[in-house]
């Protein structure tokens, strides 16, 4: 843990470096609570480079929280395409509506009120409070835990909440009462440019004289992440069923993975194609919905079959794509409570908010 007389020097060195090396980012130009809120939600689990262009488009479409509150969910999801994790967009939209209705369109400063809003956890609340309102509060995420485990030479696993709390407490001593937002943003930049996961660039680091791992150990071996969970392997079959004019799409309702998004129909497991009797069958007994789709689409053989894969954060999909070209669309049913099917005109596909995995499959056809 830092000695008291090191604290002021640590933040001075860090802030001086930040002044010269800070990343120019659109949400750092004319900082407002609204822009900070949008950026922090977008940056949850998405890289800065991917966020920059979408942030600009989003702010252009919804310049204020009341504009966002007044938008439809479809409009919000459509502008969220490319960022993934669409539940964030839905929660942000709910938050905007609550702020517009209950807080007069002003982003609240209170930690407790922020934490009660959908999609805002401890890190995001601290980032908003420090960056937009100047509150002295450390925003603790994976970046900060990595830097902290090195600066304070913490060799215990950061999976333990006691370890995370002690790193946060140590940073709480370092954060200055002035420029708390800059301090947090400086740590974010340090974590993305110098104190990176592998091979940290300690030679250029502004706080190396305070860093115990640099002085006494091997920084690249920290943090200790404990046991890492491997992504779950899942095999899925995707039905790409189209006519010349339209593509069969479905929307998943709430309470399911990728809820609310439009997608190509897919099922867990493998399908097999029997060329002899010209049918496609699901392995094991199909559920009602799968059975309906089989009966409707499978009298013909797929035009093409290929295999691809896609990595989500916690699951890895091996995807068998069954591509059907039909003369005429068949009648869709909407008797399945969790699904809504429709034939979407080919030239209006961009109007639907599609998860990246399905966009990639459509690009491959």
Q: Should residue 208 be labelled a site residue for ligand SF4 when binding is judged by CB under 6 A? A: yes
Q: Should residue 158 be labelled a site residue for ligand SF4 when binding is judged by CB under 6 A? A: no
CB of 171 to ligand SF4, least distance (A): 12
CB of 219 to ligand SF4, least distance (A): 3
Residue 357's CB is within 10 A of a number of other CB atoms, namely 21
Strand stretches in the chain, DSSP E = 232-242, 246-252, 262-263, 266-268, 271-274, 279-282, 304-311, 315-325, 339-345
Number of residues that bind ligand SF4 (CB under 6 A): 14
CB of 191 to ligand SF4, least distance (A): 8
CB of 7 to ligand SF4, least distance (A): 15
Among positions 10, 152, 183, 214, the unique one binding ligand SF4 when judged by CB under 6 A: 214
Are 280 and 270 in contact, with CB atoms under 8 Å apart? no
Q: Taking CA 259 as the corner, what is the angle to CA 267 and CA 351, rounded to the nearest 5 degrees?
A: 95
Q: CA–CA separation, 88 vs 24, rounded Å?
A: 25
Q: Which residues pair with 319 in a beta bridge?
A: 236, 308
The tokens for 360 are 């990639």
Among positions 79, 135, 145, 205, the unique one binding ligand SF4 when judged by CB under 6 A: 205
Q: Which residues pair with 280 in a beta bridge?
A: 273
Segment contacting ligand SF4 (CB under 6 A): 66-74, 209-217, 226-234, 275-283? Answer: 209-217
Segment contacting ligand SF4 (CB under 6 A): 80-88, 135-143, 210-218, 306-314? Answer: 210-218
- Give the three-class secondary structure for 135: coil
The DSSP output letter for 209 is G
Q: Should residue 211 be labelled a site residue for ligand SF4 when binding is judged by CB under 6 A? A: yes
Among positions 33, 119, 181, 219, the unique one binding ligand SF4 when judged by CB under 6 A: 219
Among positions 88, 93, 150, 164, the unique one binding ligand SF4 when judged by CB under 6 A: 150
**Residue window 128-147: x/- pattern of binding to ligand SF4, with contact defined by CB under 6 A:** -------------------x
Among positions 69, 99, 117, 151, the unique one binding ligand SF4 when judged by CB under 6 A: 151
Closest CB to ligand SF4 among residues 33, 219: 219
Closest CB to ligand SF4 among residues 143, 237: 143
Q: Should residue 154 be labelled a site residue for ligand SF4 when binding is judged by CB under 6 A? A: no
**Whole-angstrom distance between the N-terminal and C-terminal Cα of the chain?**
56
The tokens for 227 are 């046991």
The DSSP output letter for 268 is E
Q: Should residue 202 be labelled a site residue for ligand SF4 when binding is judged by CB under 6 A? A: yes
Known catalytic membership, residue 40: yes
Alpha helices in 81-223 (DSSP H): 86-102, 111-115, 122-133, 142-151, 161-174, 180-193, 212-216
Closest CB to ligand SF4 among residues 214, 262: 214
Residue 178's CB is within 10 A of a number of other CB atoms, namely 11
The set of catalytic residues is 40
Give the residues lining the site for ligand SF4 (CB under 6 A). 147, 150-151, 194-195, 200, 202, 205, 207-208, 211, 213-214, 219
């Amino acid at each position: 843990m830092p000695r008291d007389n090191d604290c002021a020097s640590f933040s001075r060195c860090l802030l001086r470096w930040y002044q010269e090396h800070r990343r120019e980012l659109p949400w750092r130009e004319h900082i407002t609570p609204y822009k900070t809120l949008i950026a922090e939600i977008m940056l949850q689990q998405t890289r800065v480079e991917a966020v920059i262009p979408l942030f600009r488009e989003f702010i252009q479409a919804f310049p204020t929280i009341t504009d966002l509150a007044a938008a439809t969910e479809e409009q919000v999801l459509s502008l969220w395409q490319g960022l993934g994790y669409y539940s964030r967009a839905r929660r942000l939209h709910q938050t905007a509506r609550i702020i517009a209705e209950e807080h007069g369109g002003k982003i609240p400063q209170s930690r407790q009120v922020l934490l009660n809003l959908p999609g805002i956890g401890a890190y995001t609340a601290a980032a908003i409070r420090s960056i937009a309102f100047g509150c002295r509060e450390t925003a603790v995420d994976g970046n900060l835990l990595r830097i902290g485990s090195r600066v304070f030479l913490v060799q215990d696993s950061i999976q333990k909440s006691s370890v995370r709390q002690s790193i946060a407490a140590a940073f709480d001593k370092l954060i200055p009462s002035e420029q708390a937002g800059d301090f947090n943003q400086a740590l974010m930049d340090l974590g993305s440019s110098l104190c990176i996961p592998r091979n940290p660039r300690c030679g250029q680091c502004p706080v190396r004289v305070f860093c115990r791992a640099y002085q006494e150990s091997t920084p690249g071996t920290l943090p200790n992440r404990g046991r890492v969970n491997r992504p779950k392997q899942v095999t899925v079959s995707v039905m790409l069923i189209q006519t010349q004019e339209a593509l069969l799409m479905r929307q998943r309702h709430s309470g399911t993975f990728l809820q609310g998004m439009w997608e190509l129909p897919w099922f867990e497991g493998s399908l097999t194609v029997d060329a002899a009797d010209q049918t496609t069958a699901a392995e094991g007994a199909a559920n009602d919905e799968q059975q309906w789709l089989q009966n409707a689409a499978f009298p013909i053989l797929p035009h093409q079959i290929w295999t691809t894969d896609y990595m989500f954060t916690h699951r890895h999909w091996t995807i068998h794509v069954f591509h059907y070209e039909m003369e005429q669309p068949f009648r869709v049913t909407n008797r399945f409570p969790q699904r809504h099917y429709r034939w979407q005109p080919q030239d209006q596909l961009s109007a639907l908010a599609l998860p990246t995995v399905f966009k990639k499959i459509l690009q491959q056809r």
